[in-house]
């Protein structure tokens, strides 16, 4: 049994806290809001995030970072990506050397182009950082439905320790040393999910969805491998697996926001309607900046940015994608000269 702090009481943080509690660990769930923490403590519910899910009395819920972190072996950081740096700064007084931090937030910081674990390592260098990602809607994890994720860590011993903490009959965990690939896959798939949602909102069919998923995976892999991720990672759970579930499910806030954009909503209107953080909006700009710094083309992600931030008509964006210059699907596949 371990003492674990979960930093962030959104739907994903709460679901992970429930999973770890069910696994027999002592869990403290931290909310940035005192009123939210009090509501969860007194009602044993978190209806705005996980409707119909009971929060056991044995889970400690607090708005005090000191209470959430002091004496803990592991802290899971599950706040929206745009708040990871601010939260890490607030965590400083309570970390101890060797404390394990697991980033379960997905995104890329727009100003620095850092991943979430890079932010944590920079602000809290005395800690050990790992990441958790994969096709895992919080609503299903909270209900105990079968889910599979990946733990990424720089040292195998840390990955195996965390694997044991999370592993359960309904939550299977694999391990990987490719921290970079795991994080980039988790962040970039949200941008492609926005595109898939836009296509749905415009009334396009399964053919368009399949094209966006497969060509979106090409863009994720192209940028991810250039930045140090492994190609094998992008064909796995935190690449293709996470992309499929995020593009296909109505649990996905990115897809839901995209549907509204496809119906003619502005970015601001779509964000208000979804009423949750839409991580793909924040990662979209960062992805374009990274691609340009590497000299890489990301046509789908470029068009998503123009729809989001330049008011581009989604119909025009689709038309431009369809009318791009003719390409070879995979330049690594050679033609057989004997067939000439």
**C-alpha to C-alpha distance for 106 and 306, rounded to whole angstroms:** 22
Are 145 and 170 in contact by the 8 Å Cβ rule? The answer is: yes
- Specify which residues 6 forms β-bridges with: 29, 76
**C-alpha to C-alpha distance for 28 and 76, rounded to whole angstroms:** 10
**C-alpha to C-alpha distance for 273 and 323, rounded to whole angstroms:** 32
What is the phi-psi region of residue 44: left when phi exceeds 0, alpha when psi lies from -120 to 50, beta otherwise?
Answer: left
**C-alpha to C-alpha distance for 326 and 329, rounded to whole angstroms:** 9
Token pair, residue 335, equals: 């033609």
Are 166 and 17 in contact by the 8 Å Cβ rule? The answer is: no
**C-alpha to C-alpha distance for 256 and 195, rounded to whole angstroms:** 10
CA dihedral 132, 137, 138, 144 (to 10 degrees): -100
**C-alpha to C-alpha distance for 113 and 256, rounded to whole angstroms:** 25
What amino acid positions are annotated as catalytic residues? 189
Token pair, residue 42, equals: 């007194």
Q: How far is CA 210 from CA 192, 199, 314, in A?
A: 12, 11, 18
Maximum Cα–Cα distance across the chain: 75
**C-alpha to C-alpha distance for 59 and 37, rounded to whole angstroms:** 11
């Amino acid at each position: 049994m371990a003492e674990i702090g979960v930093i962030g009481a959104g739907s994903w943080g709460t679901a992970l806290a429930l999973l770890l509690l069910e696994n027999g660990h002592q869990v403290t769930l931290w909310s940035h809001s005192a009123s939210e923490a009090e509501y969860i403590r007194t009602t044993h519910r978190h209806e705005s995030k996980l409707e119909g899910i009971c929060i056991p009395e044995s889970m400690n819920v607090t708005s005090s970072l000191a209470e959430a972190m002091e004496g803990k072996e592991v802290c899971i950081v599950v706040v929206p990506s745009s708040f990871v740096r601010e939260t890490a700064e607030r965590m400083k007084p309570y970390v101890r050397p060797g404390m394990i931090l697991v980033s379960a937030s997905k995104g890329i910081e727009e100003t620095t182009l850092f991943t979430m674990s890079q932010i944590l390592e920079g602000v809290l260098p005395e800690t050990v950082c790992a990441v958790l990602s994969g096709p895992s809607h919080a609503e299903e994890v909270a209900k105990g439905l079968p889910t599979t994720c990946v733990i990424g860590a720089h040292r195998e011993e840390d990955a195996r320790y965390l694997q044991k903490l999370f592993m359960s009959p309904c939550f299977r965990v694999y391990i990987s040393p490719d921290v970079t690939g795991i994080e980039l896959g988790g962040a970039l798939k949200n941008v492609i999910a926005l595109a898939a949602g836009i296509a749905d909102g415009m009334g396009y069919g399964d053919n368009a969805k399949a094209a966006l998923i497969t060509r979106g995976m090409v863009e994720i892999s192209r940028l991810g491998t250039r930045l140090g991720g492994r190609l094998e990672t992008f064909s796995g759970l935190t690449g293709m697996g996470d992309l499929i579930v995020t593009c296909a499910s109505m649990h996905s806030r990115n897809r839901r926001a995209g549907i509204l954009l496809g119906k003619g909503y502005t970015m601001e209107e779509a964000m208000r309607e979804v009423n949750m953080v839409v991580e793909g909006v924040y990662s979209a700009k960062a992805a374009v900046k990274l691609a340009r710094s590497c000299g890489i083309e990301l046509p789908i992600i470029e068009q998503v940015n123009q729809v989001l931030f330049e008011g581009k008509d989604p119909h025009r964006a689709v038309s431009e994608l369809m009318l791009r210059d003719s390409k070879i699907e995979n330049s690594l596949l050679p033609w057989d000269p004997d067939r000439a």
